[in-house]
Amino acid sequence: MTGEQVSLGAAEAFYRASFAGIRFIHDCGVKKQHSESLIPPVEQAPSNNVCKWLEDTLASAAAVWGPAFSPARVFQFSGLAAEEPFGPNWPVLPESIAGEILKDIRCLHFDDCVAALNAAAGAWNIEVLSLETGHMSLSPQTGLILAGPSAIAAAVKLFSERSDLEWGKQVIVVASRPDTRHIAGLAGLFVQSDGPTKLLSPNAAPHGAASPAYAVFKNGHIGIDEVLVSPDAEPLAVAFAQNARDGINDI
């Protein structure tokens, strides 16, 4: 197992953002693989051993939604079994912090995916920026690559307004920062995708324009028709996305 120990602050942000997703599942009736019955609502949380309940709930959710609820995927832990969402680098929250998280998430309620995404972004102290997307032409065959949390948010709004688009098949998100990777994972839930978000690290292919394209190809994309990046994206992620688009036709 490699990687740095996750700080309590980052773990708390992850729990708060994740439970915005749990609230969304129950408030908005997410049906995928019986999510509502497999993942308990916060009203069923116990008054003690709250940290264990939070962990167990996210483990159940990660089995269905992958990077939306898996610290291993968000923080890019290595050396773990594919189905293990936590691992030794994940800290145990003090019960006082776990109790405060539970108290706060009991007050959350969402009417739509945009509100849920904004709450998850807020947990990571991300201010979602408004992006112009009128230039984009999306069809069920469009391959879309995203970089930056605000680009993810803009794409979520677009996909939520179209029943003919499928996030899990059409979208790849490039990110290495845990906050952005987590928002990307939750985005698949918020648009009620048939499959989890496909995530790539910009470090996956550092050797020129063709390598990002090949990494995208290996992730199941045979074409990139649109690239959407936002000012809050990592520069490496922006370069990766643009190089992947430019090189995909050479694969």
The rounded percent of the chain whose pLDDT value lies above 90 is: 61
Report percent pLDDT > 70 for the chain. Answer: 90
pLDDT at 71: 96
The alpha-helical segments, DSSP class H, found in the chain are 8-27, 35-38, 50-65, 71-74, 95-105, 113-123, 149-160, 167-170, 178-190, 210-218, 235-247
pLDDT (0 to 100) of residue 38: 67
- What is residue 1's predicted lDDT score, i.e. its pLDDT? 45
Helix (H) or strand (E) holding 146: strand 144-147
- Mean pLDDT to the nearest integer, 26-46: 72
Mean pLDDT value of segment 150-173? 94
Is a pLDDT exceeding 70 seen at residue 161? yes
Q: pLDDT band at 31, cuts 50/70/90?
A: low
Q: Angle between the 95-105 and 50-65 helix axes, to the nearest 10 degrees?
A: 60
What was the pLDDT predicted at 250? 64
User: Tens of pLDDT along 42-95?
Assistant: 888 888 899 999 999 999 999 888 999 999 999 999 888 888 999 899 999 999
- Spatial distance between the Cα atoms of 167 and 86, rounded to a whole number of angstroms: 25
pLDDT category of residue 41 using cuts at 50, 70 and 90: confident
Q: Which letter does DSSP use for residue 174 in this model?
A: E
Determine the Cα–Cα distance for residues 55 and 40; give it in Å rounded to an integer: 12
What value does the mean pLDDT of the chain take? 88
DSSP 163: T
Map out the domains of the chain as residue ranges.
Answer: 8-123, 144-250
pTM of the model: 0.92
* Most distant CA atoms of the chain, gap in Å: 58
Q: How far is the C-alpha of 13 from the C-alpha of 82, rounded, in Å? A: 23
> Which residue, among 117, 110, 246, 94, has the nearest Cα to 190 in the 3D structure?
117
Separation of alpha carbons 167 and 189, rounded Å: 9
Alpha-carbon distance of 187 to 113, in angstroms, equals 9
Mapped onto helix, strand or coil, the DSSP state of residue 199 is strand
